[in-house]
Amino acid sequence: MRNPRLSIAQIGNKFDFWKQIDDEDFHKWLLGKYISHTANCYHSYYVRYVDIFFGPNTEAELLKLAKHKLSWILQSIKRFGDYYTSRYGNKEVKFLIQKIIERYDLNKDLDQKDRIYLVSPQFVEDKIKNVMNIPGDIGFTCRLGLFSGLREGELIYIRQKQICSQSFGCQCDNLHVASSKNGLSVIAINWTRGNKKALATIIPTSYWEKLRSLPKFDEHDIQAAHKILKREAGIAYVVLRKIHYNVMRFNNAFELDEAEVLAGRFRSVSARHYILNDPDKLSGKYTSAWQNFGVNGF
């Protein structure tokens, strides 16, 4: 393997150092650091966009792309910087990458959570199809996690927690449920333990009613669903939460603040109440978000 010796002079005057890299070695390095799907995605985006990133028209070419694609590109280029430092003990490429990102403000409107949680749309679409094809009670449990975006313990919590009879804006510790005409229920949860929060969720009313009527639903049901998911879809139950977030954010179906409330990561109480003030509007966005991935009925 060639050892491209990168100097500060080269960074400033000759943007071709990446062409000296053994591309297959970079790919192998990624596969050793990440699950195969993520590694392959990073490598694919790197190969396709590295010339543009280090080229003369970086700003014009990259800022016209969709946010989710730009997020993947920046992550793949950053991984290249990590690889270069690991292989050659030289941090100058990482510094250059950060300098280019800052110079052209490529991170603009890319929230940190988006940069962490966004994955490829094709991955999301494939996994949704897998989950929708799982039959029976196990399939119901899987789709409950998919459509709600809640953690396992949070699903158990909302099944048994008392529902308040007051208005949706009441501040008591019980659940507050608003059912919309389109067959969806918006549920204000407001459950906090440690640094984990469940603020709200939206799920099909039929799923909500079935969950509440089940004589038993606990960690054993979710463990069984987890095993089937691993076999049929190649993902853990917790990954359903990531897929849900991607569905909400794809094509900006939900604004970032709205998606963050559903993901339990929003801190502003006033903003959270503002977002939850119109359940019908939220449920309409929810329907559109799932339609983007071919889910037209629940």
Share of the chain above pLDDT 70, in %: 87
Q: Is the pLDDT of residue 274 over 70?
A: no
Number of domains in the chain: 2
Question: Which run of H or of E encompasses 31?
Answer: helix 23-33
Give the tokens for residue 196: 């984990």
53 and 126 housed in the same domain = no
* Same structural domain, 217 and 105: no
Residue 244 in domain: yes
End residue of a domain, out of 109, 131, 164 = 109
Distance in angstroms (rounded) separating the CA atoms of residues 99 and 111: 19
173, pLDDT greater than 70: yes
| Domain's final residue, options 109, 144, 167 | 109
pLDDT of residue 123: 85
**Residue 85 and residue 126 in one domain:** no
Query: According to the model, what pLDDT value does residue 279 have?
Result: 86
Q: Is residue 297 part of a domain?
A: no
In a domain, 2, yes or no: no
**What span, in angstroms and rounded, lies between the C-alpha atoms of 172 and 190?**
9
CATH of the domain at 201: 1.10.443.10
pLDDT digits (tens, 9 = 90+) for 195-211: 788 989 999 999 999 99
Same domain, 130 and 232: yes
Q: Could you tell me if 72 and 135 lie in one domain?
A: no
Instruction: Tell me if 262 sits within 8 A of 149, measured CB to CB.
Output: yes
- Tell me, what amino acid is at 255? E
User: Which of 109, 136, 154 is the last residue before a domain boundary?
Assistant: 109
156 domain residue, yes or no? yes
β-bridge mates for residue 176, sequence order = 188
Indicate whether 131 and 103 sit together in one domain: no
Query: Band of the pLDDT at 109, cuts 50, 70, 90?
Result: low
Does residue 88 sit within a domain? yes
In terms of domains, do 135 and 221 share one? yes
Mean predicted confidence (pLDDT) in 63-78 = 86
Same domain, 132 and 103: no
296 assigned to some structural domain: no
Give the residue numbers spanning the domain of 31. Answer: 8-109
The tens digit of pLDDT for each residue in 26-35 reads 999 998 887 6
Return the exposure string of 21-60: e unless at least 16 CB atoms fall within 10 Å of the residue's CB, then b.
Answer: beeeebbebbeeeeeebbbebbbebbeebbebbbeeebee
Query: What average pLDDT does range 14-41 have in this prediction?
Result: 82
Q: Tell me the pLDDT tens digit for each residue of 281-298.
A: 999 999 999 999 999 877
